[in-house]
Amino acid sequence: MQLKDTVALVTGGTAGLGLATARRLVAAGARVLVMGRSEATGRAAADGLGPLAAFVAGDVTEDEAVGRVLDAAGEMGELRTVVCCAGTTYSKQILGRRVMRADEFEAVIRTNLFGTFNVIRQAVPRMAAQPLVEEDRGVVITTSSIAAWDGQNGQCAYAASKAAIAGMTLPLARELAPHAIRVVDIAPGLFDTRLTSAVPDGVLEHLRGQVPHPKRFGSGDEFAALAEHVIGNSMLNGETVRLDAGLRMAPL
Ligand SMILES: NC(=O)c1ccc[n+]([C@@H]2O[C@H](COP(=O)([O-])OP(=O)(O)OC[C@H]3O[C@@H](n4cnc5c(N)ncnc54)[C@H](OP(=O)(O)O)[C@@H]3O)[C@@H](O)[C@H]2O)c1
């Protein structure tokens, strides 16, 4: 699907993988709305992206906020791309001194899983109303994680949320196929962002040592390049693509 002169919504587009994706989509000629909760971070991100970009603050778990963001995207033109990057990480075990409380588990699931679903469920009726261009009406990209399969000790909430995102890819793609909307999930390995900077250094070094090749963290632009390819390649649908330099995380 061509990006030029279309509108893309990037949730979590104010930092990290989402911001790098927004940058790529703008460079390809799309008008891009980035969404995040922090006004200051969002405004700075949109300013850096230039005149084709806009920012609207909102939390992906809140219905009204998502509706407001989608209304703003609609005012920018034809919404054809939704990239769901908004997400959080949180690690705690279920036995021991600092155990994960039920509300903490629910909060991770709510942001990562329900937040992703909440954006998609409100966006697709709008995308389905667009005229067909070439083969597609639109593309939805979700962001899971290799933790969906290789989750570490303490990652049960995060890994569960990401496995569920990967799991909803095929049913959504099947449901949206008659509307010519594709759904593709990207499962990143280790990328240099604010999210990974919160992980203790020792753990990061241990994980970096496990990456087969290239032996480094990925950059946001490498994630963004795959997102751009997914949008352009109509044969990609109903699939999770691991982007991980061959990493299969062993237990810590
Ligand atoms: N970095 C990695 O190595 C890695 C690996 C695997 C998967 N992932 C996944 O990739 C996605 C992006 O991660 P990242 O590394 O780019 O993280 P990041 O740098 O922390 O960026 C997260 C983005 O999501 C936004 N966000 C968080 N919670 C939100 C909410 N409830 N509503 C709206 N926006 C929200 C943040 O803005 P505000 O804080 O202002 O809301 C920010 O724009 C996440 O889903 C993460 O799980 C990352």
pLDDT in tens, 130-185: 999 889 999 999 999 999 999 999 999 999 999 999 999 999 999 999 999 999 99
User: Ligand 1 pocket: which of 84, 195, 248 to mutate (most atoms <8 Å of CB)?
Assistant: 195
Is 145 contained in some domain? yes
Is 22 contained in some domain? yes
Is 177 contained in some domain? yes
CATH assignment of the domain containing 18: 3.40.50.720
Is 252 contained in some domain? no
Is 23 contained in some domain? yes
Is 251 contained in some domain? no
The pTM of this model reads: 0.98
pLDDT for residue 85: 98
Tokens of 52: 């084709």
Sort residue 125 into left (φ over 0), alpha (ψ -120 to 50) or beta.
Answer: alpha
CA dihedral 240, 241, 246, 250 (to 10 degrees): -20
Tokens of 189: 């390995």
Residue type, 93: Q
Q: Take atom 41 of ligand 1 and give the residue whose Cα is closest.
A: 37
Is 106 contained in some domain? yes
CB 240 within 8 A of CB 171: no
Find out whether the beta carbon of 143 lies less than 6 Å from any atom of ligand 1: yes
Residue % of the chain over a pLDDT of 70: 100
By C-alpha distance, which of 150, 145, 171, 2 is closest to 84? 145
Is 32 contained in some domain? yes
pLDDT for residue 133: 87
Please report where in the chains the tokens 């999210």 appear, as a residue. 195
Find out whether the beta carbon of 151 lies less than 6 Å from any atom of ligand 1: no
Residue % of the chain over a pLDDT of 90: 92
Total number of domains in the chain = 1
pLDDT 10s digits, 211-250:
999 999 999 999 999 999 999 999 999 999 999 999 999 9
What residue numbers bound the domain in which 99 lies?
Answer: 7-243
Residue type, 159: A
